[in-house]
Protein backbone atom coordinates (compact mmCIF):
# COMPACT_ATOMS: atom_id res chain seq x y z
CA UNK A 1 0.00 0.00 0.00
CA UNK A 2 1.20 3.54 -0.74
CA UNK A 3 2.05 5.85 2.16
CA UNK A 4 0.38 9.23 2.55
CA UNK A 5 1.53 12.01 4.89
CA UNK A 6 -1.55 14.02 5.83
CA UNK A 7 -0.98 17.48 7.25
CA UNK A 8 -3.51 17.70 10.08
CA UNK A 9 -4.78 21.08 11.21
CA UNK A 10 -6.91 19.58 14.01
CA UNK A 11 -8.65 16.39 15.13
CA UNK A 12 -12.22 17.36 14.12
CA UNK A 13 -11.02 17.98 10.54
CA UNK A 14 -9.27 14.62 10.16
CA UNK A 15 -12.14 12.37 11.38
CA UNK A 16 -14.12 11.85 8.20
CA UNK A 17 -11.05 12.06 5.91
CA UNK A 18 -9.33 9.34 7.92
CA UNK A 19 -12.36 7.05 7.81
CA UNK A 20 -12.84 7.66 4.09
CA UNK A 21 -9.19 6.84 3.31
CA UNK A 22 -9.25 3.72 5.49
CA UNK A 23 -12.28 2.47 3.53
CA UNK A 24 -10.61 3.18 0.17
CA UNK A 25 -7.61 0.97 1.18
CA UNK A 26 -5.35 2.75 -1.25
CA UNK A 27 -3.10 4.56 1.20
CA UNK A 28 -1.64 3.97 4.63
CA UNK A 29 -2.16 7.26 6.50
CA UNK A 30 0.20 9.12 8.81
CA UNK A 31 -0.82 12.47 10.26
CA UNK A 32 1.58 15.41 10.40
CA UNK A 33 1.27 18.09 13.07
CA UNK A 34 2.75 21.41 11.98
CA UNK A 35 0.54 24.40 12.81
CA UNK A 36 2.42 27.53 13.93
CA UNK A 37 -0.66 29.51 12.86
CA UNK A 38 -2.60 28.52 15.99
CA UNK A 39 -2.73 31.23 18.64
CA UNK A 40 -2.46 31.72 21.50
CA UNK A 41 -0.13 28.98 22.67
CA UNK A 42 -2.71 27.50 25.08
CA UNK A 43 -5.08 27.00 22.16
CA UNK A 44 -2.24 25.40 20.15
CA UNK A 45 -1.60 22.94 22.98
CA UNK A 46 -5.27 22.14 23.35
CA UNK A 47 -5.67 21.31 19.65
CA UNK A 48 -2.44 19.32 19.70
CA UNK A 49 -3.60 17.29 22.70
CA UNK A 50 -6.97 16.66 21.05
CA UNK A 51 -5.17 15.21 18.03
CA UNK A 52 -3.05 13.11 20.42
CA UNK A 53 -6.22 11.71 21.94
CA UNK A 54 -7.73 11.03 18.50
CA UNK A 55 -4.56 9.28 17.32
CA UNK A 56 -4.61 7.00 20.38
CA UNK A 57 -8.29 6.18 19.98
CA UNK A 58 -7.96 5.33 16.29
CA UNK A 59 -4.35 4.05 16.07
CA UNK A 60 -3.42 6.84 13.69
CA UNK A 61 0.36 7.31 13.58
CA UNK A 62 1.36 10.98 13.73
CA UNK A 63 4.64 12.78 13.06
CA UNK A 64 4.77 15.65 15.55
CA UNK A 65 6.60 18.88 14.84
CA UNK A 66 7.22 19.65 18.51
CA UNK A 67 8.57 23.15 18.08
CA UNK A 68 6.00 25.91 17.82
CA UNK A 69 7.71 27.93 15.01
CA UNK A 70 5.66 31.04 15.76
CA UNK A 71 8.48 33.27 14.46
CA UNK A 72 8.51 31.45 11.11
CA UNK A 73 4.77 31.95 10.75
CA UNK A 74 5.05 35.66 11.60
CA UNK A 75 7.89 36.02 9.11
CA UNK A 76 5.82 34.71 6.18
CA UNK A 77 2.75 36.82 6.93
CA UNK A 78 4.48 40.00 8.07
CA UNK A 79 3.82 41.97 4.86
CA UNK A 80 0.45 40.32 4.21
CA UNK A 81 -1.54 40.47 7.42
CA UNK A 82 -3.67 43.44 6.29
CA UNK A 83 -5.07 41.43 3.41
CA UNK A 84 -6.91 38.31 4.56
CA UNK A 85 -6.56 36.41 1.30
CA UNK A 86 -2.81 37.02 1.01
CA UNK A 87 -2.33 36.16 4.66
CA UNK A 88 -4.15 32.86 4.34
CA UNK A 89 -2.35 31.89 1.12
CA UNK A 90 1.03 32.40 2.80
CA UNK A 91 -0.19 30.44 5.80
CA UNK A 92 -1.36 27.50 3.61
CA UNK A 93 1.89 27.51 1.71
CA UNK A 94 4.04 27.44 4.85
CA UNK A 95 2.17 24.44 6.25
CA UNK A 96 1.95 22.58 2.96
CA UNK A 97 5.59 23.15 2.15
CA UNK A 98 6.67 21.75 5.52
CA UNK A 99 4.48 18.72 4.81
CA UNK A 100 5.93 18.19 1.34
CA UNK A 101 9.49 18.43 2.75
CA UNK A 102 8.72 16.01 5.58
CA UNK A 103 7.02 13.58 3.18
CA UNK A 104 10.04 13.66 0.93
CA UNK A 105 12.48 13.23 3.82
CA UNK A 106 10.54 10.28 5.27
CA UNK A 107 10.04 8.68 1.85
CA UNK A 108 6.25 8.89 1.68
CA UNK A 109 4.62 8.41 -1.72
CA UNK A 110 2.28 11.34 -1.34
CA UNK A 111 1.24 14.28 0.83
CA UNK A 112 -2.03 16.08 1.45
CA UNK A 113 -3.86 18.25 3.98
CA UNK A 114 -7.00 18.25 6.09
CA UNK A 115 -7.50 21.86 4.96
CA UNK A 116 -9.26 20.27 1.97
CA UNK A 117 -12.07 19.27 4.35
CA UNK A 118 -12.98 22.80 5.42
CA UNK A 119 -15.88 24.70 3.90
CA UNK A 120 -14.31 27.90 5.22
CA UNK A 121 -10.95 27.72 3.46
CA UNK A 122 -10.04 28.66 -0.13
CA UNK A 123 -10.29 25.13 -1.44
CA UNK A 124 -9.12 25.69 -5.02
CA UNK A 125 -6.13 27.73 -3.86
CA UNK A 126 -5.07 24.97 -1.45
CA UNK A 127 -5.27 22.48 -4.30
CA UNK A 128 -3.21 24.80 -6.52
CA UNK A 129 -0.51 25.30 -3.84
CA UNK A 130 -0.35 21.54 -3.21
CA UNK A 131 0.07 20.82 -6.91
CA UNK A 132 2.81 23.44 -7.29
CA UNK A 133 4.71 22.03 -4.31
CA UNK A 134 4.31 18.52 -5.71
CA UNK A 135 6.09 19.71 -8.83
CA UNK A 136 8.86 21.49 -6.88
CA UNK A 137 9.54 18.60 -4.49
CA UNK A 138 8.82 15.85 -6.98
CA UNK A 139 6.25 14.08 -4.83
CA UNK A 140 2.56 13.38 -5.47
CA UNK A 141 -0.04 15.70 -3.96
CA UNK A 142 -3.11 13.66 -3.08
CA UNK A 143 -6.21 15.65 -3.92
CA UNK A 144 -9.79 14.85 -3.02
CA UNK A 145 -12.65 17.16 -2.26
CA UNK A 146 -13.07 16.12 1.36
CA UNK A 147 -15.79 18.74 1.96
CA UNK A 148 -18.22 16.01 0.97
CA UNK A 149 -17.66 14.46 4.42
CA UNK A 150 -18.38 17.74 6.26
CA UNK A 151 -21.49 16.57 8.12
CA UNK A 152 -20.06 13.13 8.82
CA UNK A 153 -16.94 14.77 10.32
CA UNK A 154 -19.04 16.88 12.67
CA UNK A 155 -20.99 13.82 13.76
CA UNK A 156 -17.84 11.78 14.37
CA UNK A 157 -16.03 14.52 16.27
CA UNK A 158 -19.06 14.96 18.55
CA UNK A 159 -19.34 11.23 19.08
CA UNK A 160 -15.68 11.11 20.14
CA UNK A 161 -16.24 14.16 22.31
CA UNK A 162 -13.37 16.04 20.65
CA UNK A 163 -12.62 19.66 21.43
CA UNK A 164 -14.12 21.69 18.56
CA UNK A 165 -12.54 25.12 18.17
CA UNK A 166 -14.46 28.26 17.28
CA UNK A 167 -11.99 29.93 14.92
CA UNK A 168 -9.48 29.00 12.23
CA UNK A 169 -6.25 29.47 14.15
CA UNK A 170 -4.39 32.77 14.06
CA UNK A 171 -5.12 35.71 16.30
CA UNK A 172 -6.56 37.61 13.31
CA UNK A 173 -9.06 34.84 12.64
CA UNK A 174 -10.06 34.85 16.30
CA UNK A 175 -10.93 38.55 16.05
CA UNK A 176 -12.74 38.08 12.73
CA UNK A 177 -14.79 35.23 14.17
CA UNK A 178 -15.93 37.02 17.29
CA UNK A 179 -16.35 40.39 15.58
CA UNK A 180 -18.73 38.72 13.15
CA UNK A 181 -20.55 37.02 16.02
CA UNK A 182 -20.90 40.37 17.82
CA UNK A 183 -22.32 42.01 14.67
CA UNK A 184 -25.01 39.32 14.38
S1 LIG B 1 -7.28 32.59 9.04
FE2 LIG B 1 -6.51 30.48 9.18
S3 LIG B 1 -5.55 30.06 7.20
FE4 LIG B 1 -5.81 32.27 7.40
S5 LIG B 1 -3.87 33.00 8.23
FE6 LIG B 1 -5.23 32.69 9.95
S7 LIG B 1 -4.81 30.59 10.62
FE8 LIG B 1 -3.94 30.81 8.57
Domain boundaries, the chain: 2-183
pLDDT at 153: 97
Does residue 87 have its Cβ closer than 6 Å to ligand 1?
yes
CB count within 10 Å of CB 88 equals 22
- Average pLDDT of span 99-128: 98
Does residue 73 have its Cβ closer than 6 Å to ligand 1?
no
Q: Residue with the nearest Cα to atom 1 of ligand 1?
A: 173
- Average pLDDT of span 94-98: 98
- Average pLDDT of span 110-120: 97
Q: Residue with the nearest Cα to atom 5 of ligand 1?
A: 88
Does residue 170 have its Cβ closer than 6 Å to ligand 1?
yes
Q: How far apart are CA 91 and CA 86, in angstroms?
A: 9
Cβ atoms of 145 and 114 within 8 Å: the answer is: no
Cβ atoms of 70 and 38 within 8 Å: the answer is: no
What is the band of 147 on the pLDDT scale with cuts at 50, 70, 90?
very high
Q: Assess whether pLDDT exceeds 90 at residue 49.
A: yes
pLDDT at 37: 98
What is the band of 181 on the pLDDT scale with cuts at 50, 70, 90?
confident
pLDDT at 51: 98
pLDDT at 58: 97
Q: Assess whether pLDDT exceeds 80 at residue 54.
A: yes
pLDDT at 122: 98
Distance 53 CA to ligand 1 centre (A): 24
Q: Assess whether pLDDT exceeds 80 at residue 154.
A: yes
E strand residue ranges, the chain: 2-7, 27-33, 62-64, 110-113, 140-141
Question: Global pTM?
Answer: 0.96
Cβ atoms of 115 and 85 within 8 Å: the answer is: no
Pocket of ligand 1, candidates 98, 168, 178, 180: which has the most ligand atoms within 8 Å of its Cβ, to mutate? Answer: 168
* The domain over range 2-183 is classified in CATH as 3.40.50.620: yes
Q: Assess whether pLDDT exceeds 80 at residue 78.
A: yes
- Average pLDDT of span 148-152: 96
Q: Residue with the nearest Cα to atom 2 of ligand 1?
A: 168
What is the band of 180 on the pLDDT scale with cuts at 50, 70, 90?
confident
Average pLDDT along the chain: 96
Amino acid sequence: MKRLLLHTCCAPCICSIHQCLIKAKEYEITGFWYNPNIHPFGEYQRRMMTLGYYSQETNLPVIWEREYFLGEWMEVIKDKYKNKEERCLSCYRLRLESTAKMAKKEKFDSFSTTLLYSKFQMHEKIKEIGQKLAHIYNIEFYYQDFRIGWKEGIKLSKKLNLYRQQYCGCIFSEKERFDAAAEK
